[in-house]
Amino acid sequence: MVSFVLVGISSTAALGVWNQAAALVHDTASMERKAADLEMLRLATQRWLAQHPANTVQRMTAVAPCQWDAVAVAAAADAALPLPKGITRQWTQDSQLRGLWQQLALLDDDGSVLMQRRQLLSPAAFGLCRP
């Protein structure tokens, strides 16, 4: 009788460990998919900027040559590339005026940042600056 009780306890413990491992594998796969979503959005933004040079030239600042206006680019990017739920995008001017930083962030249900992707995008890299 005692051996049946011990087998039952060890089976329950093993099942608990198995469930924890399965949940960890599921969470890891989910995070990998979300990381891939951030990367795809980063690439889509880069492709959008490359394919629409006439539109991005109109978003240059009047103050600095060969500089995008962060507010204008943000509005155009949000219209052209809507963000999936749980992902945010922020555009900031590079402190050395090399271009704009695009920062993508994946948020959890509480609004905490799970992961980020940041890239410097320059008008010169897209051939938009004339000497």
Lowest mean pLDDT among 33-37, 42-46, 75-79, 125-129: 125-129
3-state percent breakdown (helix, strand, coil) of the chain, nearest 5? 55, 20, 25
Q: Would you place residue 13 in the very low, low, confident or very high pLDDT band (cuts 50, 70, 90)?
A: low
Assess contact for 58 and 75: CB atoms under 8 A. no
Count of CB atoms within 10 A of residue 83's CB? 12
Whether the pTM exceeds 0.75: the reply is no
pLDDT tens digits, 70-92: 888 899 899 999 998 889 999 99
